[in-house]
Amino acid sequence: MPPAAAGEDHSLSPMKKDQLPIVYSASYDIGVSAMQRLHAFDLKKYSHVFNELVRRGLIKPEQVVKPDKVSQKDLASVHNEEYLKTWNDRKALAGIFEVPALAKMPAFVSRYLVIDPMLHQTGGSITAAELALQHGWAINLGGGFHHASAERGHGFCIVADITIAIKKLRQTHPEVKKIMIVDLDAHQGDGYERDFYNDPGVFILDFYNKYAFPNDLYARQRINIGEGLKPGTQDQEYLAKLADSLKRAPAEFKPDAIFYVAGTDILTGDPLGQLSVSPAGIIKRDEMVFDHALKGSIPIVMLFGGGYLKSNAGIIADSIENLDHKFGLLKKQPPQP
């Protein structure tokens, strides 16, 4: 049994009539204010995006779907017992989260401040996957922990939410056999690449800074269409390569669903991503991926992924607003199942 108790196993209830397939909980935010000084990540990014969407009048608080924490059963279906035991080791947790100060805290404090929010976000990824299948699209205002695999966590990722959500979706919907992962975070998605290494039913498109963490050469062999980008790559080159890759993918693989890791750490000035894509480039990138999915009638699940600048929340809100403008996502009443 894992040290951080997960929620009860549950089936997703249909969305209420006035809700949208946007998934969020106030429990997503990580840590406390003092922790912000210990890590470059905007630990409150999730609530910052939610509050900005509400402030702009794009959504109302009651329109979002609040997820449960990932169930014990779903968590254990992917993560092995040996790995889950490391959640009791404060030194191991400090390494996973790249915050040395956590090694001085009792493990239960780290579980409460960091792991529990990620368990809630993982529940959100599962919920978003189900909603996307029902309504054609869904956005989880969190998740995308693409460095975590069944056997390990690192890179500020402790729960393999992508693997868990895909496995859950396949279990509950046997007709869903082929999954495409579009990972446009600045870092290679080594976690799910290892988890699905021998699974031909998962097609992986991954763009990443080829010199940045994690530089996992073994996992990199699993990528179907990949671009190892040079530091400083800008909009024109980035978007041209993405357009070409999206055109090539359907000829090789017709997915039943797309999981999209929309990391904003590709932004100019990000200290870890080290690419140079502009805010306008990020907005266009997201539009291109959604256009590809919606034109092909492929359900798409959008997850946040990484992003290390305080400006990220505003850019993400800008992008969601653009998706609404281009595709009318937030103005359409979702069809009821």
Higher pLDDT among residues 42 and 97, named by residue = 97
* Annotated catalytic residue, options 79, 146, 147, 292: 147
Q: What is the largest CA-CA distance in the chain?
A: 52
- Position 4 scores a pLDDT of 42
- Position 33 scores a pLDDT of 53
Banded model confidence at residue 40, pLDDT cuts 50, 70, 90:
low
User: Which of 93-107, 158-172, 187-201, 239-253 shows the lowest mean pLDDT across its residues?
Assistant: 93-107
Amino acid letter for position 155 = G
- Position 337 scores a pLDDT of 43
DSSP conformational letter for 59: -
Does the annotation mark 147 as catalytic?
Answer: yes
Q: DSSP 3-state assignment of 63?
A: helix
| DSSP states of 300-318 | EEEE-----STTHHHHHHH
Task: Determine the angle formed by the axes of helices 279-295 and 235-252, rounding to 10 degrees.
Answer: 20
Block residue for tokens 């980008």: 229
In a 10 Å sphere around its CB, with 0-12 CB exposed, 13-18 middle and 19+ buried, how is residue 333 labelled?
exposed
Amino acid letter for position 152 = R
Tens-place pLDDT, residues 87-133: 999 899 889 988 787 888 887 888 888 899 999 999 999 999 999 99
DSSP conformational letter for 64: S
- Position 199 scores a pLDDT of 98
- Name the average pLDDT for the chain: 91
Q: Calculate mean pLDDT across residues 11-25.
A: 83
Statement: residue 311 has pLDDT above 60: yes
Residue 112: phi, psi to the nearest 5?
A: -70, -40
Give me 15's structure tokens.
């969305």
Question: Which domains, from first to last, does the chain contain?
Answer: 22-327 (3.40.800.20)
Residue 102: phi, psi to the nearest 5?
A: -65, -20
Higher pLDDT among residues 293 and 1, named by residue = 293
Tens-place pLDDT, residues 133-169: 999 999 999 999 999 999 999 999 999 999 999 999 9
